[in-house]
Structure 1
């Protein structure tokens, strides 16, 4: 798509307006989406945030659809920075899952843009590559490796989905409270801990670590 070009004067600084760069436009757009979602992203609001004319935004990134394409590309690049840590196969594979989950949680609105473009598989590709390498290094190959990689990635995606769904709902429905009361009659400690959600980081670590240990265990 050919981008709309306007006079570059607003982007040159001086009396016509403050200097702005393409990176500054994209950085600000990323921040606006992360703070308020795509609803908070308009070319006028972006221009106001940067203190420039709207024509300056079009000069650097084109129209709104072209801008969103640029943001999606940035997200895909960011998701490619998977850093593997640890000395054992389990800790290294778990570190990939932890990094993948954190990247998704830190960019909810931006991840939605990726999904709207149908690029989820491309977004998850860096983590998949890292998982394949680490399982191979641990001696897991072929169909078993494919199952292991998919199991870890489904665990990440499913956990994030459930984590978001349960966030912000501290009051249990009446039916759940009644069930917890029944549990408390036989095991008060269990009921008390079920009523108080565990720390998501700790829950995820337990779930994915147990899974990886099982996947690496010889049959």
Structure 2
């Protein structure tokens, strides 16, 4: 439902000789999004937001209410953005893989906002649009009901696990390039070299996704095309 913006108030800029352009509620929300995405939710205060916009703190409250109300608007904006899914590809399998990859990319891009949505109990609402899109693609392959639900849950778990691992790796100190002592005497240098370096998280996600889709879809797409 569209909300009606209150009459805009001019922002205050110290030293300005003329009135600045009016401030809108959407501008306040956009500025809050920038702060959270750059610095995390802890950095979002009404004073910080006022400084970002060159406005009086009272103007911020007037446009969006208190901080709690503002956070709700940020989460609503995130849920709206997450609902804009784009299945693409020539086959149902390609579209399913694309939806999973798109979800992972979005979760990686906005970690602080995702955390806010989780704190507000909006995780399910955030995932529902892609779940619906996945269900549509599975239905095209004749997969429905409990089986379809299980596949969607597993794909979602694969995406979320990859995101959590990527964040953990990003926070960890640099790894030693030296092979662990446990590998001494092993005659598989390629294996040891692979496991002794930083993981290729994008490659691991794609490899795992292919393995899951191989298991779930087998030759269903071929049979569907022959009908």
TM above 0.5: yes
Q: CA deviation at 1:197?
A: 2.5
Alignment RMSD, CA only?
A: 2.5
Name the counterpart of 2:10.
10
Corresponding residue to 2:109 among 103, 106, 109: 106
Structure 2 unaligned spans of 5+: 1-5, 221-227
Q: 2: CA distance between counterparts of 1:32 and 1:178?
A: 45
Deviation at 1:43, TM superposition (A): 0.4
Residues paired across the two proteins, number = 211
SS at match of 2:128: helix
- Residues 1:141 and 2:139 are matched in the alignment: no
- Which deviates further from its counterpart, 101-110 or 144-153? 144-153
Q: In proportion to residue count, which structure has more helix?
A: 1
Deviations 1:109-153 (A, max 9, x none): 000100111111111101100110010011111221111111111
Match of 2:51 in 1: 48
Distance 2:8 2:83 in 1: 34
Question: Distance in 2 between the 1:26 and 1:9 partners?
Answer: 15
User: When the two structures are superposed, what TM-score results if normalisation uses the length of structure 1?
Assistant: 0.87
1:188 counterpart residue number: 189
What aligned pairs does 1:13-162 form with structure 2 within 5 A after superposition?
A: 15=18, 17-162=20-165
SS of 2:10's equivalent in the other structure is helix
Q: 1:3 — aligned with what?
A: none
Deviates more, 1:187-196 or 1:24-33: 187-196
- Provide TM-score, normalisation by structure 2: 0.84
Contact 2:85-2:130 at 8 Å conserved across structures: yes
8 Å Cα contact 2:8-2:22 kept in structure 1: no
Residue in 2 that maps onto 1:202: 203
Which consecutive residues of structure 1, in runs of 5 or more, have no partner in the other structure? 1-5
